A and B are shown apart, each in its own frame.
Chain A
Amino acid sequence: MSLRLHNLLKITGIALLAILAFSGRAIGTENTHDDTELADKFYRQALFYYFSGDYGKALRQISLNRQRFSAELNVNTPKSQLFEAGLLVSVGMHKQATQSLLALEQAQRTQRKSLAKQSDAKSKKDKRSATSPQELMLIARLQLAEQQVQQGNRLGAQQTLAKVTSLSNGATLANAYYEQYYTLSQIAYWPEQPELSTTVLAEQNLVTDNAEQMPLSTAYITLNQALLAIENSDFERGEAMLVAIKNQEWQATTQNFWQLLFNPFSSQYFDEDEPTSDSETQQQAVNDYAQLLLAQLYVKQQRFESAYYELKEFPQYSPYTESALFTFAYAAQKHGQYSIALTLLALMQKQYPYSNLAWQSAVLFAGQVAEQKSLAQGLASYEQAEQFYLQRLTDLNDFQQRFLATDNLLDFVMPKLTSDTAVKENQPSSTLELFKKQNVFSSDEWLQKALLDPSLKTDFQYLKELDLLSVHLRQQQQKSHWLADTIKLNKQRKSEIVVAQQQQSHQELIAELKRQHLRLSQVVELAEQDYDVQRFSSQTEADWLKRIKKSKQLISSIDGQRNIEDYQERLSRVEGVLTWRLSQKMPIRLWQHKKQLAEIAQQLSRLTQQQQRFETLASAENLLVSIEQRHLQSNDKITELLTKLSDLRAVTSNTLRQKVYQYAMGQRQLLQQHLLTARHEMAAVLEQMSTVDKRIESQLMPMIPRTVPISPPQDKGRL
């Protein structure tokens, strides 16, 4: 009986384990958090993706947090909203970012106090970038305006900057942002004076500040002010500003986390290979530009000598070398440095054959040759210039034809994007490349020149983004197909499990186990009541008890044949010892059995719950059906988006073709003007040559004997 009890317990346990394979329920966890801390953790997941350079995943995480946890937690904090807006600005979703910012601004107005409290939360991240919501909003708007300026959307930038002005109502703009604000306003409103509603820093202070190192952003303000002064013919003031800038040392402005977040070109996190001398390059560029502008100012004032000496030491490697070279050549020519001028004008044509300045150089060069050398050499130079223009016109026609005939315009700016290459490029994230700011370069000289137009460049960026979106969508489509297979397999699996379940009937098995449990409980209870020690005997003890019983039967059978007293005495002694031992072990064995029974009861209870849940899941078709429906919707959406993308690509390509066509027309017109000028000059030279010839002829005429023929005999008839 005892053995049976053991075996039953074992079997019950195994059966429970086997059935527990479905699922189960558990109790709780040891750690708890307050809601703010937990919301912050979800926000920090998005932060990880952002710092890893994956904007797409960061954005997805933020919206996932909102979708999943907004019921339980306040995940939609101003910080997270602003982070989202920053990411949206970074990926070029300005409209949505503006909407987010407006919503945030509205929320701020109504909940200013509570938001201020939240922004003062003492988390470590906040300490790193302790910024008030107002300031964050300001950064967001500035960076948005900056991107709009870069895309040539000056009206949009003006509107965004106008909001910055209204935001500053009641509070002064921090100096740190003032310069960025001022520079952007200058560019957005150029050539008009920017509409600044805050206290304007005195212009003179910016220039005459004696600090050894000034922020680089100040240089841009001053440069634009100098430009404006020159535009208004206030040359003295312009010159003073430029002289101050070119000799000034500039200090790169540092940006905080939020400024970097909103700046897609930020190199702090994403360009690990970027040289550290970036600020030096910028400083040099500012000084070079001031120098060039100063020289151009002198040229405009016809102070060619000053312009010549200003550019004499101009660095060879500078973003402004081309303009500087031409201005220097022109100043040299006017200053009487003819050999230098000729060399530089020739260099211009050789080095920058597609530049408007080089085209002007060709005429200037020929003019100088004609003037200083000989008319014949001048004529040859003009002919060269004419050939130069004709060659450019041929190139331009060729470019235009090639461009307009190309199906995929991106062939002109980048290697063809295939799904494979995109996937490789996008490792480890498939969405990373989608949201990286696309820089557009072309190896074709004409297109590279056309790309100086921000609007055209933006269109190319759009085209690239559209292709990347297509690649991404196709990946999503593949994923969707995979999900469809998985759903199908799951459905199949589920139906198989349900069938198996119906065959096995776990419900009956559980009922049987419960009956067994009940029976065992009764046995144990009875044994306890009767103090039946033998019920809890082990295998050995049970064998002994059997032997004793057998011995007793044996003794009874030989009773009367032999003296059995001794046997009986020995047997009862053994039985006594065994009973004593069993009674000694009875309490602990009883406890063990009761404990095992309790455990089995608990497991049976779990099992019943599992069984019920299984029944619910098996009968509920909704879960998989809902997933299937969602999948179908997603699939339809993918198809719809791919069609939209294709349409939009066609529209963008057409727009690009039109713009490039207009650009080519403009360039052709310009070249034809130069060609015409060159031909006019050639005609003038020819005329001069003819005049000179005539003069020489008339001078030589008296000396020629009348009998000598004036032309070869063979030409005589024709003449």
Chain B
Amino acid sequence: MKMFKLQISFVAMFMALVSVTVFANDEGPANANNESNSNLSSALEDIKSQVLKLNRELFILEEDLLFPASTQVAVFVSVDVGRFFTIDSVELKINEKNVTGFLYTERQRKALEQGGIQQVYLGNLKVGQHQLTAIFTGEDAEGRAAQRAVTHQFEKDDETVMIELKVTDNTSTYRADVQVEQWVL
């Protein structure tokens, strides 16, 4: 916003100095070679697009190789509102073993509060029954250190297991709860 406005101001200033004053202006050369810029821009866009595509292909390749659907398990975190609990970190255990932890920056926390869903863990599990434990640490509405935990039993089959941990404000108790939701395609 700022840059846009200032840029407009600059453009306006450029016009003013060209048209109004009796002095030479103090701007750079106005020899915009639009055609060459357009070609360059087009080539750059093309490469960017290919790089993005390549990035995606390699990402999929990596997932297919390291986390095939038959063993893949993914855990996501989302925050609904976030008034009663300010999330600082999350710790995940699968079958009593620590598998990952995540410390949130202010921006990442805001990203969650603004509706984003974060994939916090991607791993492999063999078929069968498993237990997921998630421990969230943060602050409650009064700024006191607080923890919320949840345990979830799930069964791994040939398909990818996707589990969402939702930190949700409970308006009746004035505290946040962690709900578990398993996504099914």
A155, B62: Cβ atoms under 8 Å? no
Contacts known (A149-B11, A479-B62); A300 close to B20, Cβ less than 8 A: yes
The number of residue pairs between A and B whose CB atoms lie closer than 8 Å in the complex comes to: 325
A220, B28: Cβ atoms under 8 Å? no
A323 within 8 A of B: yes
A655, B27: Cα distance in complex, Å: 20
**Which positions 424-456 of chain A face chain B at CB distance < 8 Å?**
431, 434, 449-456
A59, B19: Cα distance in complex, Å: 43
Chain A residues touching B, majority SS: helix
Please encode chain A, from 120 to 144, with 1 for each CB lying within 8 Å of some chain B CB and 0 for all others: 0000110010000000000000000
B contact residues around A434 at 8 Å (CB): 51
Contacts known (A31-B181, A282-B2, A480-B58); A48 close to B118, Cβ less than 8 A: yes
B contact residues around A410 at 8 Å (CB): none
Contacts known (A227-B12, A300-B22, A453-B30); A648 close to B43, Cβ less than 8 A: yes
Contacts known (A265-B3, A465-B44); A24 close to B127, Cβ less than 8 A: yes
Contacts known (A59-B52, A60-B59, A634-B57); A230 close to B29, Cβ less than 8 A: no
B contact residues around A224 at 8 Å (CB): 12, 15
Contacts known (A44-B78, A224-B12, A479-B62); A52 close to B31, Cβ less than 8 A: no
A12 within 8 A of B: no
B32, A455: Cβ atoms under 8 Å? yes
A contact residues around B106 at 8 Å (CB): 272
A contact residues around B175 at 8 Å (CB): none
| Choice from B16, B20, B34, B184 contacting A31 with Cβ under 8 Å | B184
A265, B20: Cβ atoms under 8 Å? no
B contact residues around A450 at 8 Å (CB): 28-29
A353 within 8 A of B: no
| Choice from B49, B51, B52, B157 contacting A25 with Cβ under 8 Å | B157
A contact residues around B117 at 8 Å (CB): 41, 44-45, 47-48
Which of B48, B71, B119, B156 neighbours the largest number of chain A CB atoms within 10 Å of its CB? B48
Interface size on A, residues (CB 8 A): 139
B contact residues around A73 at 8 Å (CB): 185
| Choice from B1, B10, B119, B183 contacting A266 with Cβ under 8 Å | B1
Q: Please name the residue on chain B nearest to A640 by beta carbon.
A: B50
A175 vs chain B, min Cβ distance (A): 18
A270 vs chain B, min Cβ distance (A): 8
Q: Please name the residue on chain A nearest to B37 by beta carbon.
A: A455
Q: Please name the residue on chain B nearest to A125 by beta carbon.
A: B115
Contacts known (A24-B127, A293-B16, A462-B44); A659 close to B31, Cβ less than 8 A: yes
B contact residues around A69 at 8 Å (CB): 185
B contact residues around A666 at 8 Å (CB): 29
**Which positions 135-165 of chain B face chain A at CB distance < 8 Å?**
154-158, 161, 164
A542 within 8 A of B: no
A472 within 8 A of B: yes
Q: Please name the residue on chain A nearest to B17 by beta carbon.
A: A323
A223, B12: Cβ atoms under 8 Å? yes
A140 vs chain B, min Cβ distance (A): 15
Contacts known (A29-B184, A227-B16); A453 close to B114, Cβ less than 8 A: no
B92 within 8 A of A: no
A183, B54: Cβ atoms under 8 Å? no
A641, B54: Cβ atoms under 8 Å? yes
Which of A44, A462, A473 neighbours the largest number of chain B CB atoms within 10 Å of its CB? A44
**Which positions 190-234 of chain A face chain B at CB distance < 8 Å?**
190-191, 216, 220, 223-224, 227, 230-231
A483, B65: Cβ atoms under 8 Å? yes
A703 within 8 A of B: no
A contact residues around B19 at 8 Å (CB): 191, 227, 230-231
Which of A274, A322, A459 neighbours the largest number of chain B CB atoms within 10 Å of its CB? A459
A contact residues around B25 at 8 Å (CB): 356
B contact residues around A25 at 8 Å (CB): 127, 157-158
B contact residues around A220 at 8 Å (CB): 5, 8-9, 12
A56, B156: Cβ atoms under 8 Å? no
**Which positions 43-62 of chain A face chain B at CB distance < 8 Å?**
44-45, 47-53, 56, 59-60
Contacts known (A44-B78, A52-B108, A319-B6); A128 close to B115, Cβ less than 8 A: yes
A93, B49: Cβ atoms under 8 Å? yes
B contact residues around A266 at 8 Å (CB): 1
B contact residues around A281 at 8 Å (CB): 2
Q: Please name the residue on chain B nearest to A271 by beta carbon.
A: B2
**Which positions 97-118 of chain B face chain A at CB distance < 8 Å?**
106-108, 110-112, 114-118
| Choice from A23, A190, A253 contacting B127 with Cβ under 8 Å | A23
Contacts known (A95-B45, A153-B38, A455-B33); A41 close to B183, Cβ less than 8 A: yes
B121 within 8 A of A: no
A320, B16: Cα distance in complex, Å: 12
A200 vs chain B, min Cβ distance (A): 19
A434, B49: Cα distance in complex, Å: 12
B contact residues around A187 at 8 Å (CB): 8, 11-12
| Choice from A146, A152, A634 contacting B54 with Cβ under 8 Å | A634
B20, A651: Cβ atoms under 8 Å? no
A94, B116: Cβ atoms under 8 Å? no
A265 vs chain B, min Cβ distance (A): 4
A16 within 8 A of B: no
A272, B157: Cα distance in complex, Å: 44
A299, B36: Cα distance in complex, Å: 39
Contacts known (A296-B16, A296-B21); A490 close to B65, Cβ less than 8 A: yes
A490, B65: Cα distance in complex, Å: 9
A contact residues around B1 at 8 Å (CB): 252-253, 255, 263, 265-268, 278
A582 within 8 A of B: no
A contact residues around B55 at 8 Å (CB): 56, 60, 431, 472, 476
**Which positions 650-700 of chain A face chain B at CB distance < 8 Å?**
651-652, 655, 659, 662-663, 666, 670
Contacts known (A29-B182, A51-B110, A64-B56); A641 close to B51, Cβ less than 8 A: yes
A466, B57: Cα distance in complex, Å: 20
B114, A51: Cβ atoms under 8 Å? yes
A29, B159: Cα distance in complex, Å: 10
Contacts known (A29-B154, A56-B52); A67 close to B60, Cβ less than 8 A: yes
Contacts known (A31-B183, A327-B21, A648-B40); A155 close to B60, Cβ less than 8 A: no
A458 within 8 A of B: yes
Contacts known (A96-B49, A265-B3, A479-B62); A32 close to B184, Cβ less than 8 A: yes
A contact residues around B32 at 8 Å (CB): 152, 453-455
A523 vs chain B, min Cβ distance (A): 30
Q: Please name the residue on chain A nearest to B157 by beta carbon.
A: A26
Q: Please name the residue on chain A nearest to B154 by beta carbon.
A: A29
29 contacts between A and B (CB under 8 A): A20-B128, A24-B126, A24-B128, A26-B158, A31-B183, A38-B183, A38-B185, A47-B115, A48-B108, A49-B111, A50-B116, A51-B114, A51-B116, A91-B48, A124-B80, A150-B4, A155-B34, A187-B12, A220-B12, A299-B22, A300-B20, A300-B21, A330-B23, A453-B27, A453-B28, A456-B29, A462-B41, A634-B54, A659-B31
Interface residues of A (CB under 8 A from B): 20-21, 23-33, 38, 41, 44-45, 47-53, 56, 59-60, 63-64, 67, 69, 72-73, 91-96, 124-125, 128, 146, 149-153, 155-156, 183, 187, 190-191, 216, 220, 223-224, 227, 230-231, 252-253, 255, 263, 265-269, 272, 274, 278, 281-282, 285-286, 289, 292-293, 296-297, 299-300, 319-320, 322-323, 326-327, 330, 355-357, 360, 431, 434, 449-456, 458-459, 462, 465-466, 469, 472-473, 476, 479-480, 483, 486-487, 490, 627, 630-631, 633-634, 637-638, 641, 644-645, 648, 651-652, 655, 659, 662-663, 666, 670
Apart from A52-B116, A641-B47, 8 more pairs, CB < 8 Å: A32-B184, A67-B60, A289-B16, A293-B20, A453-B27, A453-B28, A453-B32, A638-B54
User: Would you list the 8 A-B pairs with minimal beta carbon distance, nearest first?
Assistant: A48-B116, A24-B127, A26-B157, A51-B111, A452-B28, A453-B28, A265-B3, A455-B32
